[in-house]
């Protein structure tokens, strides 16, 4: 009796996880539907807003007693903009981002605010470049704090206290904005007084460097081309600021409660609080801002761990407030999916771990209906359609780019074990440091390293377990579960073995002294070392 009860319980847990995974996968189709219905109109509205904003700026009168010098030759007064560049040990990319920001065209007052928490040679680089830029006539302020309290959120808040700028642009160290960035974004604020922030679309400097970077490029392309475009197009949905490559209205930050280090995704947290306060976000799909992707398994997994934990922390913090708000039901449902999306990873891990136990069950529970296999296949392959549409929308060579989808599937599903830990820590309210992703910029090697969220051998063991479950599913005659199990096994092997190969490669090299560049707070002792090639920060 107890054995039968345990078997039935495991079976229903397994079936429930498969069902929820399928629901999250079907959510991708819902987002696509929103985009098809509203996307074209939203793109036209964004273009119209920018044009109307430029007209408003051209006729905006100067305040009494304000000299016109520095505000363009036609007498228009563009709002005071501060561009914040948060840095922490970014020797590879610090000079590049400072000079790119300084090269942006802007007819009004533009303050470059370098928020430098570095403890290595980055400080000397910043001081040298800042002196050069001041000599060239740029307004630049280097802000250094005695401690790194609050991490990036704390640095942004400190910078905000030191400026009276009306608009605040933010760029992470690995981004390289184009010269017309402010000319494209600032007018939007003049066209609509309820716009709280404007977000540009990321493109990628190092996308072609490896299979891993190509896979990430496909995933992030779809986030912007579909998710951000659809949420921005639907009048009742919330979009998120992506932490960089965007501009904030100072007033919206203040009314939303300001930057907070309560979560590891301070950008997502503030985005929702601002929109709950009545402001709106605007996504500009045509505004491309190049940045870097993580080129190492350690950097990729550390970044995803932070995003997974931070988004679930934000969900715990804000979902009750979202559901109590006066926002439409569509916004509440979509926001719930959006903030809890990374929950698919612990669910996927449970399916992998419980699979062999289910297929070892006897009686009727060992011959589960084809429903389970169908649910698992929907969960595995619906996102493939989603990502394929993203490539179609953005790239003329989309048929060739579809060849990257298998690698993206492996990389995404292979994060199940690491991100399951991230979700568990968020739900258990375990705090951890903000681990920034190492970057190499235009250099030949990566100077910094981060630790793996979990020891990679665990992922290899989970992969072997998934393969065993696929074998048992085959013996039970469930083709869908076999396909899903083999896909899970391949994904875990890809991430786990790739990480172990990275560690072995590091040990064969003589590591340069990172001089404070390695961040290890609250992570296990499996260390990713220094690798050649570019990496992405953020």
Q: Spell out the domains of the chain, with CATH numbers in brackets.
A: 33-59+76-296 (3.90.550.10)
Note the pLDDT of residue 395.
94
Note the pLDDT of residue 65.
38
Q: Is 442 a catalytic residue?
A: no
Write out pLDDT tens, residues 39-64: 666 666 666 666 666 666 655 554 43
Q: What 3-state DSSP class applies to 291?
A: strand
DSSP letter for 527, please. Answer: B
The rounded distance, in Å, linking the Cα atoms of 152 and 145 is 12
Note the pLDDT of residue 438.
77
φ and ψ of 98, to 5 deg: -60, -45
> Which tokens belong to 220?
């992030």
Distances in Å between the Cα of 63 and the Cα atoms of 55, 67, 77, 439 are 18, 9, 9, 44
- The answer to whether the beta carbons of residues 223 and 174 sit under 8 Å apart is no
Count Cβ atoms below 10 Å from residue 367 Cβ, excluding itself: 12
Kindly give the parts of the chain with pLDDT less than 50.
Answer: 62-75, 362-367, 514-537
The rounded distance, in Å, linking the Cα atoms of 41 and 437 is 36
The rounded distance, in Å, linking the Cα atoms of 477 and 373 is 10
Note the pLDDT of residue 8.
79
Write out pLDDT tens, residues 110-150: 999 999 999 999 999 999 999 999 999 999 999 999 999 99
Q: Enumerate the β-bridge partners of residue 197.
A: 248, 281
Q: What 3-state DSSP class applies to 92?
A: coil
Q: What is the pTM of this model?
A: 0.88
What is the dihedral sign for C-alpha 421, 427, 433, 434? positive
Note the pLDDT of residue 114.
98
The rounded distance, in Å, linking the Cα atoms of 231 and 281 is 9
Note the pLDDT of residue 42.
63
> Would you mind telling me the total number of residues written for the chain in this entry?
538
Please spell the DSSP secondary structure of 237-288, one letter per residue: ------SSSEEEEHHHHHHHT----SSS-HHHHHHHHHHHTT-EEEEEEEEE
Q: How deeply is 358 buried, as exposed, middle or buried, from its count of CB atoms within 10 A (0-12, 13-18, 19+)?
A: buried
Q: Is 4 a catalytic residue?
A: no
Q: What 3-state DSSP class applies to 529?
A: coil
Annotated catalytic residue, options 116, 117, 174, 221: 117
The rounded distance, in Å, linking the Cα atoms of 101 and 535 is 20
- The answer to whether the beta carbons of residues 68 and 62 sit under 8 Å apart is yes
Q: Give the 3-state secondary structure of 377-432.
A: HHHHHHHHHHHHHHHHHHCCCHHHHHHHHHHHHHHHHCCHHHHHHHHHHHHCCCCC
Residues 293, 112, 514, 121, Cα dihedral to 10°: 150
Percent of the chain with pLDDT over 70: 83
- The answer to whether the beta carbons of residues 482 and 469 sit under 8 Å apart is no
The rounded distance, in Å, linking the Cα atoms of 304 and 435 is 11
Question: What is the number of helices (H) and of strands (E) in the chain?
Answer: 18, 7
CA-derived radius of gyration, the chain: 24
DSSP letter for 532, please. Answer: B
Residues 6+ apart with CB under 8 A from 5: none
Annotated catalytic residue, options 174, 221, 267, 269: 267
DSSP letter for 341, please. Answer: G
Note the pLDDT of residue 52.
67
- Which residue, 297, 268, 305, is CA-closest to 152? 268
Exposure string (b/e) for 313-348, b if CB count within 10 Å is 16 or more? bbbbbbbeebeebebeeebbbbbeebbbbbbbbbbb
The rounded distance, in Å, linking the Cα atoms of 114 and 79 is 20
Residues 6+ apart with CB under 8 A from 287: 181, 184, 185, 200, 201
- The answer to whether the beta carbons of residues 207 and 220 sit under 8 Å apart is no
Count Cβ atoms below 10 Å from residue 235 Cβ, excluding itself: 11
Residues 6+ apart with CB under 8 A from 508: none
Distances in Å between the Cα of 221 and the Cα atoms of 296, 373, 398 are 19, 29, 12
């Amino acid at each position: 009796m107890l054995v039968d009860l345990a078997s039935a319980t495991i079976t229903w847990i397994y079936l429930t996880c498969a069902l929820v995974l399928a629901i999250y996968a079907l959510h991708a189709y819902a987002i696509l539907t929103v985009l098809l219905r509203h996307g074209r109109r939203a793109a036209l509205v964004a273009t119209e807003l920018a044009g109307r904003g430029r007209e408003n700026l051209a006729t905006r009168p100067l305040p009494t007693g304000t000299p016109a010098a520095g505000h363009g030759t036609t007498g228009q007064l563009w709002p005071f903009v501060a561009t914040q560049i948060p840095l922490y040990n970014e020797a590879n990319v610090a000079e590049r981002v400072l000079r790119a920001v300084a090269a942006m065209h802007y007819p009004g007052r533009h303050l470059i605010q370098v928020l430098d928490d570095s403890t290595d040679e980055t400080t000397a680089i910043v001081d040298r470049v800042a002196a050069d830029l001041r000599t060239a006539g740029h307004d630049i302020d280097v802000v250094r704090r005695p401690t790194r309290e609050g991490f990036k959120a704390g640095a942004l808040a400190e910078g905000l206290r030191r400026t009276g700028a009306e608009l605040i642009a933010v760029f992470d160290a690995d981004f390289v904005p184009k010269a017309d960035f402010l000319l494209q974004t600032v007018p939007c604020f003049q066209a609509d007084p309820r716009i709280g922030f404007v977000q540009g679309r990321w493109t990628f400097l190092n996308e072609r460097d490896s299979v891993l970077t190509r896979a990430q490029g496909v995933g992030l392309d779809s986030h912007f081309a579909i998710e951000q475009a659809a949420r921005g197009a639907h009048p009742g949905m919330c979009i998120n600021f992506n932490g960089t490559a965007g501009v904030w209205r100072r007033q919206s930050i203040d009314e939303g409660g300001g930057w907070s280090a309560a979560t590891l995704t301070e950008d997502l947290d503030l985005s929702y609080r601002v929109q709950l306060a009545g402001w709106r976000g605007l996504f500009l799909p045509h505004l491309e801002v190049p940045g870097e992707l993580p080129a190492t398994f350690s950097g990729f997994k550390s970044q995803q761990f932070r995003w997974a934990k931070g988004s679930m922390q934000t969900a715990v913090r804000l979902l009750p407030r979202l559901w109590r708000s006066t926002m439409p039901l569509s916004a509440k449902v979509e926001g719930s999916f959006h903030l809890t999306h990374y929950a698919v990873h612990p669910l996927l891990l449970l399916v992998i771990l419980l699979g062999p136990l289910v297929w070892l069950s006897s009686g009727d529970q060992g011959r589960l209906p084809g429903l389970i296999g169908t649910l698992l296949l929907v969960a595995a392959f619906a996102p493939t359609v989603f990502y394929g549409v993203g490539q179609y929308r953005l790239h003329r060579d989309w048929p060739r780019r579809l060849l990257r989808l298998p690698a993206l599937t492996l990389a995404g599903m292979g994060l199940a074990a690491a991100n399951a830990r991230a979700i568990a820590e968020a739900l258990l309210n375990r705090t951890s440091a903000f681990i920034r992703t190492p970057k190499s910029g235009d250099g030949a090697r990566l100077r910094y390293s981060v630790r793996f969220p979990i020891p990679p051998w665990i992922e290899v063991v989970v992969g072997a377990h998934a393969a065993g479950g696929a074998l048992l599913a085959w013996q039970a005659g469930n083709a869908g579960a076999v396909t899903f199990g083999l896909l899970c096994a391949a994904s875990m092997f890809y991430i786990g073995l790739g990480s172990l190969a990275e560690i072995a490669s590091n040990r064969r090299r003589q590591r340069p002294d990172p001089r404070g560049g390695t961040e290890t707070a609250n992570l296990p002792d499996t260390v990713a070392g220094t690798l050649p090639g570019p990496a992405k920060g953020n």
